[in-house]
A = this chain, B = another copy of it.
Amino acid sequence: MSQNMKNALVVGVGPGLGAAAGRRLAADGYRVALAARRVERLTELAAELGGLAVAMDATDPASIEAGIVRVEEDLGEIHTVVWNVGGGGFGDLEKVGIENLEFAFDTNTRGLFVLAKRLVPAMAARGDGALIITGATASLRGKPFTTALAPGKAAQRSLAQSLARQYGKHGVHVALIIVDGIVDAPKTRERMPDTPQEAFVCPEGYADAISFLLNQRRGAWSFELDIRPHVEDW
């Protein structure tokens, strides 16, 4: 590998958005590290991309630290991070529990905070770096079925704003991609067999947005953009 390649870490890699992000970053010339809770699921993609697979549990600050250390030891300093973590069950107040609320916050926001505190000041000191975050419609509003999830997504967006406003001037590009719709992935296809492909968010389109953000000139950085299938009702 070239000494001049930048290292990118994608946190939250499943078969949908995370995999598309990893593939695009590799295609764009980054050395890629893929992180997920269950590292064994990353092996194949990491091999495909000539990248590194690391275990990282976004709910556990020690695990985040360990994963970062692993990447730094193997690849060197991390230039770009894609934070694509963040689940949380759907359901109204009577269906969800405190553990759902905490899980959404811990994965979307607290883990991001831990990672940012660890990596972003160093990016700022180098005057160069990027942190791209996957948001959702729930980042913008709470509905009964997102009672547990939306608070974590709203908190994440708020944190992203604070970081973007602080570190932009130091050369660190923090941006949020609001994914509006259901992502095209094996699981969602299985669950919605009658939904046509055009109604799903296209992971490659999400990866295009990441690539666009990472290549923006410093005189025209975006903080937030939304993506949705063209047929989506919104």
Contacts and interface: CB of A to CB of B under 8 A. Distances in A.
Contact of A158 (B110, B142, B173, B219): B142
A94 B167 CA distance: 11
Interface stretch (A7-15, A50-58, A72-80, A114-122): A114-122
Contacts of A171: 230
Interface stretch (A30-38, A39-47, A198-206): A198-206
Nearest to A147: B162
Given A93-B162, A109-B155, A224-B225, 12 more contacts: A93-B117, A97-B117, A101-B113, A109-B151, A146-B162, A150-B162, A152-B155, A154-B155, A204-B219, A208-B220, A219-B229, A220-B228
> Which 8 A-B pairs rank lowest in CB-CB distance, beginning with the nearest?
A205-B220, A202-B219, A151-B155, A142-B162, A142-B161, A225-B225, A154-B158, A142-B158
B98 A102 contact: no
A163 B219 CA distance: 29
Query: Assembly of this chain: how many copies?
Result: 4
Contact of A227 (B92, B220, B231): B220
Interface string A121-154: 1000000000000000010011110110011111
9 contacts: A102-B110, A142-B163, A144-B166, A165-B234, A169-B230, A204-B217, A208-B217, A212-B212, A218-B229
B168 A231 contact: yes
Contact of A93 (B109, B120, B198): B120
Contacts of A217: 202, 204-205, 208
